[in-house]
Structure 1
């Protein structure tokens, strides 16, 4: 079809309507000219299939024109397409009178059969309320308001993420095959649409990012702060709600919603794969006949985890490192994990926490000396505590009534500290002090024997006490040095000070674990040896 001059296509009243929002006249002319270069029958074809105006522009390779001006309303786009569909004289390409009214030109009667309303900015929100926005700018305003309500602080940028139902992607693939088959030899398709047809997800991002940057006064880039738009079709929404409900019965994880939505998305209906263009024609015909419901949209904001690091000291022999429950019965008075996590979390306004440490001690083992390096990972923190706030947290923990746990060197660290700590846990040295009993009197030869040990190699099979939860392996470890300290008034008790490779089972090294650790203190001294108390006195890891 020949290009129409914009003055021939619309009268003065329509021009006033199209530019009422102070739109750029040059932009509108370029949009009309670009659409006018496409054969009428192509626009009519898409329109008759129930394809929305935004998807038509996208499929025609004209997305840059609409994405460059996010305030351009849906009704204006429909009007421009209506002009092309009717033609300047009110006739279609066959000379028949179309008879479209002004209302028909500016009103969409259904949800887009391809994008399910995503690019029409039509959706159900979390309250199952039907929502409709007339432009990308209006939609971005809705997103920005929801983001502000979350009250995140110290945010310098954002990353926009979009998740669409598999059904939308399948529809898009089908219509692309359909276009290839039907229009591959037409000049307009070869010149533009074949190379410039963007996906629904990409066009949505292009439409929304620019106004979001302005509204939030943030730059869009790779960021630790994420705005995620998750669209679910009706079936996925139903399955997601069922899955999330089951999950909540089992766990209070902060990110159960994100995890389950992804799980449902991965398991969602995929249908017969579109392996050929012929398949796409059948699929498109079926798609046209379907009753389409808008997607359900969930907006989530989340910040990458932040980490608070330091060293902890544990003075109680009845406090575990992590929460310990057996048969619904709690073991121990408390845990280091809970004492530290619950103290730090409120200052970060996070949704949850995870506790990480460079190794672990048994519940009946104290952590003394320099303390054990640890990290508290705060999930989705609304704010990052300042240095002054961190000092207040440290004082709060160290002033607790029962004094089970204390901390030092508390600081906000990067996620690289996690890798450093894990490396230290596996490779560094640790020092211990153990109260040991032997079945005979201690003599000077014993002192000399133990003190002469330098980098002694031992072999340890998985201890009997942990076989129920650890693989039955044989591990080589190194005892770097030992020193025996006699106790006044006792001939069979002594303090054993030793430095070992990380991961050495100290209790088993003392008593031998029925021969599963060799050599042991018992085998070296030629008698029975038992460990009564154990303290960790130093964890040599270069962090915190």
Structure 2
């Protein structure tokens, strides 16, 4: 629809009147909404609008800072030119019209610098900005701007997404400008009746208004529902000029709260707000730099892994630019899983770790792979095929079981379970004398035995020198046929026990140890983890 009229008169109970130039088209045909606009315009004092324009405040910020109804601030079909035309051509009614007479309505004349950048919002609510490549961009309405954002989202090819959250980050300078201009208006016009009728909470922030402007058109254009979501659209505005960053400290803000917990008290306490606003008039403002990003919260896929090689580390291990080991569990699993999610990257998490020369057998070790910004979530069938593919690799270094996508609580559950878990081991041990029946009894009779371990010498360069109490829940010996000095030690321990040091004693830093219990030198030759007891995964 088209509203024709260069003049709008609201005079007492007279009917609203429009004259002959097109102002706004689109979905503003709703009479209630138009009445809301006109009622809001009737409350705008002409001298205040002129004051704003002299400072260099954009039209939407005028509505916003004056605390007019949020529909005025946020209705997406009100473009920059719509607002300018309304403010230029409206005749302010109400008491002012009565005092001037019906034939002397006051015309507000806006400055001709419609394309200048707002001194308060830095062009954010005018939809002017510098793009990622430094190109100056200008959009006339929220729909135009939202269309570009929606197209950028579409190009990322996200699947299984039905909602989004909108995040906006603005330079601190915008917030400080908001505070200063509001404080300026409060002090300058606090005795005026129109200002006394305004609730201080009605001044909406630049960030809130921008969100209101974009949410509805983004929902329409993308087909997604705005709500608390794991899929996020983020707009990050940053100061284009370092000069703007330096000048934002012209007035020194001290945030204090009154009894109602509002920020008004801190604004009223400022002594430099007039200087700040006067300085604002002199500034040459550049639009902000806008960085667009859409991303999905991390998705976790987990299960248990088994490691059959004594030359595979858990995570990639490089010393002096030289790789240690032939591969890593992290790279084998992450490299196989990431492509199915089309993510930006991954992080590997496990319930503890084994040394590179220790095999992980039995039930396997619980692990999670955190997929960052996944474009899609594979079905259970695809995940099962993924598991089969990993387990069919030619080198057979690593296998997985129970692979599945986990909820966001998967990581927390694994961390909680790790602190309480028990682990079982099988170690090949050598002692310098023959094994006897008394040794078997000594070892097997130890139940829930407490030991004290100082930080092992082999890791002392990267761990704090602490003493740790650990529990050995049970142990048993198994003779090795054909040898009297070799045996298999099977044991179950508390998580965090250093098994190698428990066997040889680490020069007395672990007490008691297998060596001290048997009264002889003991060395561990091979070690396997046979079970990690955790309810999750």
Pairwise same-fold verdict (TM > 0.5) = yes
TM-score by length of 1: 0.88
1:192 deviation in Å? 2.3
**Runs of 4+ more than 6 Å apart:** 6-10, 85-90, 95-99, 104-107
User: Is 1:378 matched with 2:371?
Assistant: yes
User: Is 1:81 matched with 2:74?
Assistant: no
Q: Which residue of 2 aligns with 1:23?
A: 28
1:228 deviation in Å? 0.7
Are the structure 2 counterparts of residues 107 and 291 from structure 1 closer, same or farther at C-alpha, using a change threshold of 3 Å?
A: closer
Which of 121, 139, 153 lines up with 1:147 in the alignment? 153
Q: Does structure 2 conserve the Cα–Cα contact (< 8 Å) formed by 1:485 and 1:494?
A: yes
Are the structure 2 counterparts of residues 196 and 315 from structure 1 closer, same or farther at C-alpha, using a change threshold of 3 Å?
A: same
Q: Does structure 1 conserve the Cα–Cα contact (< 8 Å) formed by 2:92 and 2:105?
A: no
Q: Does structure 2 conserve the Cα–Cα contact (< 8 Å) formed by 1:78 and 1:105?
A: no
Are the structure 2 counterparts of residues 441 and 201 from structure 1 closer, same or farther at C-alpha, using a change threshold of 3 Å?
A: same
Q: Helix, strand or coil for the counterpart of 2:213? A: helix
User: Is 1:351 matched with 2:358?
Assistant: no
Q: Does structure 2 conserve the Cα–Cα contact (< 8 Å) formed by 1:347 and 1:385?
A: yes
1:391 deviation in Å? 0.8
Which of 147, 162, 166 lines up with 1:160 in the alignment? 166
Are the structure 2 counterparts of residues 189 and 43 from structure 1 closer, same or farther at C-alpha, using a change threshold of 3 Å?
A: same
1:12 deviation in Å? 3.4
Which of 406, 412, 437 lines up with 1:444 in the alignment? 437
Q: Does structure 1 conserve the Cα–Cα contact (< 8 Å) formed by 2:338 and 2:371?
A: yes
Q: Which residue of 1 aligns with 2:308?
A: 315
Q: Does structure 2 conserve the Cα–Cα contact (< 8 Å) formed by 1:510 and 1:529?
A: yes
| d(CA) in 2 for partners of 1:468, 1:340 | 30
Q: Does structure 2 conserve the Cα–Cα contact (< 8 Å) formed by 1:78 and 1:107?
A: no
Aligned 1:24-423 pairs, distance under 5 A: 24=29, 26=31, 27-67=33-73, 69-84=75-90, 108-192=114-198, 194-235=200-241, 270=249, 272-275=251-254, 276-423=269-416
Q: Helix, strand or coil for the counterpart of 2:123? A: coil
Q: Which residue of 2 aligns with 1:475?
A: 468
Q: Helix, strand or coil for the counterpart of 1:18? A: strand
Q: Structure 2 stretches of 5 or more lacking a match?
A: 1-7, 255-268
Are the structure 2 counterparts of residues 225 and 268 from structure 1 closer, same or farther at C-alpha, using a change threshold of 3 Å?
A: farther
| d(CA) in 2 for partners of 1:68, 1:235 | 28
**1:6-31 residue CA offsets vs partner (Å, 9 max, x unmatched):** 999986321xx124435326233431
Q: Helix, strand or coil for the counterpart of 1:499? A: strand
Aligned-residue RMSD, C-alpha: 2.7
Q: Does structure 2 conserve the Cα–Cα contact (< 8 Å) formed by 1:63 and 1:203?
A: no
| d(CA) in 2 for partners of 1:98, 1:66 | 20
**1:302-348 residue CA offsets vs partner (Å, 9 max, x unmatched):** 11101001000001111100111111111111111111111111101
Q: Helix, strand or coil for the counterpart of 2:236? A: strand
Q: Does structure 2 conserve the Cα–Cα contact (< 8 Å) formed by 1:59 and 1:193?
A: no
Are the structure 2 counterparts of residues 294 and 109 from structure 1 closer, same or farther at C-alpha, using a change threshold of 3 Å?
A: same
| d(CA) in 1 for partners of 2:280, 2:27 | 38
1:85 deviation in Å? 7.5
When you count helix as a share of all residues, which structure comes out higher? 1
TM-score by length of 2: 0.89
Q: Which residue of 1 aligns with 2:516?
A: 523
1:299 deviation in Å? 1.1
Q: Which residue of 2 aligns with 1:4?
A: 9
Aligned length: 508
| d(CA) in 2 for partners of 1:486, 1:25 | 90
**1:387-439 residue CA offsets vs partner (Å, 9 max, x unmatched):** 01111111121111211111010000012121221122221110000000000
| d(CA) in 1 for partners of 2:378, 2:476 | 44
Are the structure 2 counterparts of residues 489 and 288 from structure 1 closer, same or farther at C-alpha, using a change threshold of 3 Å?
A: same
Identify the range of structure 1 (413-422 vs 499-508) with the bigger mean alpha-carbon deviation. Answer: 413-422
Q: Structure 1 stretches of 5 or more lacking a match?
A: 240-264
Identify the range of structure 1 (30-39 vs 147-156) with the bigger mean alpha-carbon deviation. Answer: 30-39
1:374 deviation in Å? 0.2
Are the structure 2 counterparts of residues 427 and 204 from structure 1 closer, same or farther at C-alpha, using a change threshold of 3 Å?
A: same
Q: Helix, strand or coil for the counterpart of 1:292? A: coil
1:512 deviation in Å? 0.2
**1:261-319 residue CA offsets vs partner (Å, 9 max, x unmatched):** xxxx9x99655423544311100100111001111111111111010010000011111
Q: Helix, strand or coil for the counterpart of 1:310? A: strand
